[in-house]
Amino acid sequence: MNITTMTTTNIKYQPAGQFEDTRFEKIHNIVFSNSNIGSVCVAKEIANLIIEKQNNNQLCILGLATGSSPIKIYEELVRMHKEEGLSFENVVTFNLDEYYPMDKKSVHSYYYFMHQHLFNHIDINPNNINIPCGTIPLDELHQYCIDYDLKIKEYGGLDFQLLGIGRTGHIGFNEPGSHYNSGTRSITLDHVTREDAAPSFLGIDNVPKKAITMGIGTVKKAKRILLLAWGHNKASIVKETIEGEITSEVPATYLQEHPNTTFILNDEASQELTRVKTPWLVGPCIWTEELASKAIVWLCQLTKKSILKLTDKDYNDHGMSSLLVQEGSAYDINIQMFNKFQHTITGWPGGKPNADDSSRPERANPVKKRVIIFSPHPDDDVISMGGTFDRLVEQGHEVHVAYQTSGNIAVSDHEALKYAEVIKDINSNNSNIDSIIEKINSKKGDLEDDLEVRKLKGLIRKRESLAATRFIGIPDKNVHFLNLPFYETGTVKKKPLSDIDINIVSNLIHTIKPHQIYAAGDLADPHGTHKVCLDAIFEALENLKNNDYMDDCWVWLYRGAWHEWDIHQIDMAVPMSPDQVLRKRKAIFYHQSQKDGVMFQGNDAREFWVRAEERNNETATKYNNLGLADYAALEAFKRYYF
């Protein structure tokens, strides 16, 4: 079975030891190249089950999950209902969990989520919908949970259970410490889980501390379980769950004992599995240049040797003898790989004029290039590639920056209030500003901002960005604020990408006709703004690729705000001196609203400038450990071919 391209609707489980490509894995899993294909496949399995039950005049009892992972599955089920006549009349659903306390009407309730994404759009009988109730009085809660389990039992148990997985290894809200036999109950949420929920609640303080969750015992009784994990963020917990020992510290590992469970992963979520990360330890490999580079970086890290010091024995001892057979000797591979990594380094990200460019990452010509740096939020440009940005400008290229979104929701109320009050101090008769101040002061907790307040917040970010781009030295006319409409919801949940967004991006590319495009390739969160912004660029490139000028356009993907390219993925590495590191720091500091306790910190407690410096320094150290030059910092890019 080709694990990355499988699209069958007939996902069948085979017993442990017979299904895997590796002895390391204890749970059946399928890896899809992207989450959309995987979701369609899961939706088909659910639809098939519903139809099979219909044909037998039976009810179909589904256990359902919320969160970002199943959204596309619900979308596909709704599509099947509308376009293919899939009926849900025989379906009874039990949701896994609900925050506690939580009002049904709140946009944060799982009740709201399920109706918004699924129930409002299908023909399910409302009496067949069961979602733990977040307003049940405390003294009735215990009995309520017992009754929830009993009701599932009365229906003959769950035919199918859909799960996501939290970074703590929770399924449902069964946090670490949960007993394998636990029933539905109330639970205290782990801090990590609350951190992950913080963005949609606009701050961790607004996230409930408790929830009601189906128990592990309840889930495990389901006849069929599919667990979804998309994105880089899930890669390490997926590995721990599939390859680790069963432990209450990672409740999802209990699924190893379930006889009919499949994990549905995308490429990013599978990255830490031994079979994917170090396939040479698992079985025969086809040694492409990319796999060989990956293996050599790993071997250097493991043996603590630089490339040129690796011996035949090192290769043989660590599952890489077939590479030796293919390439001859360690000496030959080492030289070849050393040169490959060496050639990624350049101080001339726009190409070195009048130089032989046959082994450089960028072309020498044209000497002066037109460049667009796409930045999803107003600050990703300097955080992720401030050093390279600075060099491109210094080396005389025509550099444009395009801020794709306004970034308005990331400005805190107190920051906005400060600016509003300054405006008020200057002009006390400004009634418009009075109303903005009033709206900020009267805002409650996690409610979304009024349009005027959002506008002010967006303008704050605009001015910060212009301060930074002026510092780097590009004229204001080269700074483009695209304000893509998909972002403008006032909440963390965004609208789907539309043709309007794509056209805005296409028009800019068409007007500038760039030789280089830089874009954020941060895919840590498959539903996040960075991914949508990247999709907008990819779609625009697709639309424009038949224009002659596009033959001359190279696309470079940067990372940095959330994670970094692996060393073997890097096609261009741009060094920075200690002074350039300080200049980059200064450029980031202009984005003051994103300093000192930002609203969307993510799961990394470091400030953005610290993350950027540490990541760039780490890349430099890794290069140095391979035996390459010792730089203070390196910014890394991967070329994207379209």
List the structure tokens of 197.
């929920």
The Cα-based distances of 620 to 44, 369, 471 in angstroms read: 46, 27, 25
Nearer to ligand F6R, 132 or 349 (CB): 132
Nearer to ligand F6R, 166 or 349 (CB): 166
Degrees, nearest 5: CA angle 583-472-567: 60
The residue sitting closest to ligand F6R, measured at its beta carbon, is 164
Q: Compare residues 69 and 128 and give the one whose CB is closer to ligand F6R.
A: 69
98 a catalytic residue:
no
Q: Which is nearer to ligand F6R, 187 or 285 (CB)?
A: 187
> Of 349 and 526, which has the nearer Cβ to ligand F6R?
526
Which backbone phi and psi does 519 adopt, to 5 degrees? -140, 155
Shortest distance (Å) from residue 295 CB to ligand F6R: 31
Residue 266 Cα distances to 31, 117, 234, 255, 508, angstroms = 5, 22, 10, 19, 32
Tokens 């920051």 belong to: 415
CA-based torsion, 524, 525, 530, 533: positive or negative: positive
185-188: strand order across its sheet: 97-100, 210-213, 185-188
CB of 96 to ligand F6R, least distance (A): 4
Least separation in angstroms between residue 494's CB and ligand F6R is 15
Question: Shortest distance, CB of residue 91 to ligand F6R, whole angstroms?
Answer: 18
Beta strand 633-640 with 572-576 is: antiparallel
**Closest CB 110 distance from ligand F6R, rounded Å:** 6
Identify the bridge partners of residue 15 per DSSP, sorted by sequence position.
none
Q: Which residues bind ligand F6R (CB under 6 A)?
A: 65-69, 96-97, 164-166, 170-173
Prior bond to 279 cis, omega within 30?
no
CB of 483 to ligand F6R, least distance (A): 27
CB of residue 64 to ligand F6R, shortest distance in Å:
8
Query: Helix/strand/coil (H, E, C) string of 337-380?
Result: HHHHHHCCECCCCCCCCCCCCCCCCCCCCCCCCEEEEEECCCCH
Q: Give 193 or 404: the residue with its C-beta nearer to ligand F6R.
A: 193
Q: How far is the CB of 114 from ligand F6R (least distance, A)?
A: 9
Q: Quick one: 443 or 493, whose CB is closer to ligand F6R?
A: 493
**Rounded least distance, CB 178 to ligand F6R, Å:** 12
- Dist. CA 291–CA 537, nearest whole Å: 28
DSSP characters over 106-146: STTSHHHHHHHHTGGGS---GGGEE---TT--HHHHHHHHH
Nearest alpha-carbon partner for 117 in 154, 67, 156, 155: 67
Closest CA to 299 of 625, 564, 629: 625
Residue 14, burial from CB neighbour count under 10 angstroms (0-12, 13-18, 19+): exposed
Catalytic residue among 20, 175, 272, 415: 175
Cα 11–Cα 17–Cα 21 angle in degrees, nearest 5: 70
**How many C-alpha atoms does 176 have within 13 Å on its Cβ side?**
13
The DSSP code for 66 is -
CA distance 351 to 362: 5
Contact call for residues 50 and 86 (beta carbons, < 8 A): yes
The smaller minimum CB distance to ligand F6R, of residues 25 and 98, is found at 98
Q: Which is nearer to ligand F6R, 96 or 534 (CB)?
A: 96
Angle (CA) 441 445 450, round 5°: 60
Shortest CA distance to 440 belongs to which of 448, 612, 267, 468?
A: 448
Catalytic residues: 175
